[in-house]
């Protein structure tokens, strides 16, 4: 199956095309470039993100809503890229051991179906509270607030108890004493 993608490089270059061999665990994939029909090899390490899109044209007048809720698609996160862009969405899996992770946009009306984000292109990744919708259909006042509760995790190597903020657990924290991964 061919996927329509818009590839954003770390150097701000953008290429639109189709791919049939992208897999999140692979280091590269092939892209048939729209403008030239040339097939190129794209290295994940060179990318900011891969946007899997509904159409290449999109709607330039549409402004994506980050404060909408969506159920059944994972944990709600806020991703801040090193270039300053912020994206809200849901992820089903994040691992420090992988080069990147998939995010499903919070806004189902977005032109993006999903986004593969290169972890190296991010400044911060935080879990945020789900948006709740009131009876009138408006968003709750506490939308997009970062979950910042304390949690204690004991290190399996040295036994020290580490106090962490839940918003940072997704970043795979390390023990304050021995430096071993806590989760």
**CATH number for position 183:** 2.30.30.380
What pLDDT does residue 140 have?
Answer: 42
Query: Which domain covers residue 89, as residue numbers?
Result: 3-56+69-127
Asked whether residue 140 is domain-assigned, the answer is: no
Residues 111 and 154 in one domain: no
What pLDDT does residue 21 have?
Answer: 96
The pLDDT tens digits along the chain (183 residues) read 799 999 999 999 999 999 999 999 999 999 999 999 899 999 999 999 999 999 999 877 777 765 556 555 678 888 999 999 998 888 987 777 789 999 998 888 889 999 999 999 999 888 887 654 433 344 444 444 454 556 667 777 887 776 766 555 555 677 778 887 765
Residues 86 and 40 in one domain: yes
Of 75, 79, 85, 72, residue with least CA distance to 117: 79
Residues 20 and 99 in one domain: yes
Residues 89 and 7 in one domain: yes
Residues 171 and 122 in one domain: no
Please tell me the number of Cα atoms within 13 Å of 7 on its side-chain side: 25
**Cα first-last separation, the chain:** 36
Give me 80's structure tokens: 């801040």
Asked whether residue 142 is domain-assigned, the answer is: no
Asked whether residue 135 is domain-assigned, the answer is: no
What pLDDT does residue 98 have?
Answer: 86
Residues 103 and 21 in one domain: yes
What pLDDT does residue 157 have?
Answer: 80
Residues 37 and 89 in one domain: yes
Asked whether residue 133 is domain-assigned, the answer is: no
What pLDDT does residue 148 have?
Answer: 53
Residues 99 and 49 in one domain: yes
Residues 87 and 121 in one domain: yes
DSSP-derived pairing of the beta strands 75-81 and 47-53: unpaired
Q: What CA–CA distances, in Å, run from 148 to 12, 16, 75, 123, 153?
A: 33, 38, 15, 18, 15
What pLDDT does residue 137 have?
Answer: 42
What pLDDT does residue 112 have?
Answer: 92
What pLDDT does residue 170 have?
Answer: 55
Asked whether residue 63 is domain-assigned, the answer is: no
Residues 36 and 112 in one domain: yes
Q: Are 13 and 83 in contact (CB under 8 A)?
A: no
pTM of the model as a whole:
0.71
Count Cβ neighbours within 10 Å for each residue of 89-109 and write b for 16 or more, e otherwise. bbbeebeeeebbbbbbbbbee
Asked whether residue 177 is domain-assigned, the answer is: yes
Asked whether residue 34 is domain-assigned, the answer is: yes
Asked whether residue 134 is domain-assigned, the answer is: no
What pLDDT does residue 134 have?
Answer: 38
Q: How many domains does the chain have?
A: 2
Give me 175's structure tokens: 């023990």
Residues 118 and 167 in one domain: no
Residues 21 and 76 in one domain: yes
């Amino acid at each position: 199956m061919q996927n329509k993608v818009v590839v954003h490089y770390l150097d701000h270059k953008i290429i639109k095309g189709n791919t049939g061999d992208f897999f999140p665990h692979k280091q590269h994939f092939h892209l048939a470039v729209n403008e030239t029909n040339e097939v190129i090899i794209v290295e994940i390490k060179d990318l900011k993100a891969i946007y899997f899109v509904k159409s290449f044209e999109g709607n330039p007048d549409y402004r994506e809503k980050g404060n909408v809720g969506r159920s059944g698609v994972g944990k709600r996160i806020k991703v801040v890229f090193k270039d300053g862009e912020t994206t809200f969405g849901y992820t089903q899996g994040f691992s420090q051991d992988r080069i990147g992770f998939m995010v499903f946009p919070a806004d189902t009306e977005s032109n993006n179906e999903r986004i593969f984000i290169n972890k190296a292109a991010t400044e911060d990744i935080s879990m945020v509270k789900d948006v709740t919708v009131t009876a009138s259909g408006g968003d709750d006042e506490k939308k997009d607030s970062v979950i910042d509760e304390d949690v204690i995790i004991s290190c399996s190597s040295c036994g020290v108890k580490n106090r962490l903020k839940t918003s940072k657990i997704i970043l795979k924290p390390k023990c304050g004493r021995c430096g071993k991964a806590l989760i």
